[in-house]
Amino acid sequence: MNYRSNLERVLSKGKLAVTAEIGPPKGSDPDKITQKGEITKGCADAFNVTDNQTAVVRMSSMASSCILLKMGLEPVMQITCRDRNRMALQSDVLGASAIGIRNILCITGDHQSFGNHPGSKGVYDIDSIQFIQTIKNMRNMGVFQSGDKILSGKPDIFIGAAANPFADPYEFRVDRLEKKIEAGADFIQTQSIFNVNKFNIWMDEVRSRGLDRKVHIIAGVTPLKSLKMTDRMRFHVPGVDIPEHVANRMKNSGDPKREGYEIALELINDIKKTKGVHGLHITALFWEGIIPSLVRESGFLPRP
């Protein structure tokens, strides 16, 4: 069987996949990407490259993905609907496929009011589900969203989507996942998990509807680096659910950095045991250096 990407290969063989996030720099220095790439090389099957994450302008995800490709690392290029209309989105999908990007994660995007250009105009021409469907139709049927035909080369993309098991209305969360699968998502990367109980409730429903057999679910983990970061994520990042007992562990520890690492290891062990989970997605914000030991200690090395 021909796999579009290494990520698809690992997932299709039923192995637990590992993806890790590499945030592009707030500047044009390519070394910032290569350095992060060097640190994490061999630790993951593919590397998510964020797209102006938290609505802060950074090096484009396309260019950053290209730098990773040159290093021999496989990118998961993230594309948000916040900054582009349907024309620019589709044009970027064609361009990404042309330069060898094979995984794209479709997200609506953090609202511009949270970032460093709150006066900008958000686009939101289409939403993430419509974007997923658009790529699927480009890939499978060779048609653009308007119905116009693609003339030379259908984009060969393994389509990803995000899921947040912790947001409200809670009862709708699995319905929304199901819509993403129906739209054409091949893999799902979840919001970082801190609340294992809530994640398990979500996964129970996912399994009971058989969705874990229709899509590859990759569970998100973020090691907490400090108390400050814990509070920031807890109170200021929309959609993140850090339960009190986790926050208290960070607060009461003499070595919060160590504690955050231990919490992440425990979470990974819980997630590994969860039926229906197909992989692990590590988002180590400004702490990429921790990824190798986290992956090693969790028994994920060497990568297949």
Partner 1 sequence: MIITKQKDFNELLSSIGKEPVFIIGCSECATICHTGGEKEVLEMKGALEGENIPVTGWVILEPACHLQNDKRILRKYKDEVNKANKILVLACGNGIQTVSEIIENADVIAGNDTLFLGEIKHANEFEKRCNMCGDCIEDLFGGFCPVSRCPKSMLNGPCGGSIDGKCEIDSNIDCVWDLIYKRLKEKKQLQLLKIIQEPKDWSKSTETRRVL
Site track for partner 1 across 33-72, x = CB under 8 A: ----------------------------------------
Question: Does residue 239 touch partner 1 according to CB under 8 A?
Answer: yes
Question: Does residue 145 touch partner 1 according to CB under 8 A?
Answer: yes
Query: Cβ 270 to partner 1, closest distance in Å?
Result: 21
Q: Is the separation of the CB atoms in 262 and 223 below 8 Å?
A: no
Instruction: Name which position in 59, 126, 221, 282 contacts partner 1 (CB under 8 A).
Output: 126
Site track for partner 1 across 68-107, x = CB under 8 A: -------------xx---x---------------------
Query: Cβ 10 to partner 1, closest distance in Å?
Result: 26
- In the bound state with partner 1, the residue whose beta carbon lies nearer, of 16 and 246, is 246
Query: Cβ 143 to partner 1, closest distance in Å?
Result: 13
| Token pair in block for residue 165 | 């098991």
- In the bound state with partner 1, the residue whose beta carbon lies nearer, of 166 and 261, is 166
**CA-CA-CA-CA dihedral for 78, 79, 81, 87, to nearest 10:** -160
**CA-CA-CA-CA dihedral for 107, 165, 137, 54, to nearest 10:** 0
Q: Is the separation of the CB atoms in 77 and 93 below 8 Å?
A: no
Interface size with partner 1, residues (CB under 8 A): 35
Question: Does residue 295 touch partner 1 according to CB under 8 A?
Answer: no
Q: How many residues does the chain have?
A: 304
Question: Does residue 108 touch partner 1 according to CB under 8 A?
Answer: yes
Neighbours of 302 (CB within 10 A): 8
**Residue 213, amino acid:** R
**Residue 98, amino acid:** A
Say whether 136 sits in a helix, a strand or coil: helix
Question: Does residue 133 touch partner 1 according to CB under 8 A?
Answer: yes
| Token pair in block for residue 89 | 């989105």
| Token pair in block for residue 219 | 């569970």
Helices (H) and strands (E) in the chain, counts: 11, 8
Instruction: Name which position in 91, 113, 248, 269 contacts partner 1 (CB under 8 A).
Output: 113
The answer for residues whose C-beta is within 8 angstroms of residue 277's C-beta and 6 or more apart is 16, 203, 212, 217, 218, 219, 271
Which residues in this chain contact partner 1 in the complex, by CB under 8 A?
A: 81-82, 86, 108-109, 111, 113, 122, 124-130, 133-134, 145, 162, 164, 166-169, 171-172, 175-176, 178-179, 182-183, 191, 238-239
